[in-house]
Amino acid sequence: MKTTTTSLSLTDIDIDRVIEMAWEDRTPFEAIEAQFGLSEQAVIELMRRELKPASWRRWRERVQGRSTKHTVLSAVDNARFKSAQQRIISVNKLSKR
């Protein structure tokens, strides 16, 4: 089993969070690297080590070629976490009560 020195310093809670972020469609690998210092390859190794074989295969199929997992390839701008309906909702009179 191959481990990286960076992943050795992660706690169980950190590993769980990295796995959660890796499964999320809109969380790019760059965000994981900024928060945990793990490159895309290190995340792939961590996922392979921590997931069951069937889960690993399902995750790899899901992530491969997905542009939202890479900030450079993503067509979504920096305000991606804001719903397109946000302005409509915030101007709504009912939300002022």
pLDDT at residue number 2:
45
Q: Domain tally for the chain?
A: 1
The boundaries of the domain holding residue 56 are 5-96
Q: What is 42-90 written as a DSSP string?
A: HHHHHHHHHS-HHHHHHHHHHHTT-GGGSTTT----TTTTS-TTHHHHH
Do residues 44 and 84 touch, judged by C-beta distance below 8 A? Answer: no
Distance, CA of 45 to CA of 66 (rounded, Å): 18
pLDDT at residue number 94:
52
pLDDT in tens, the chain (97 residues): 444 445 468 999 999 999 999 999 888 999 999 999 999 999 999 999 999 999 999 999 988 877 777 666 555 554 455 555 555 555 555 555 5
Distance, CA of 33 to CA of 31 (rounded, Å): 5
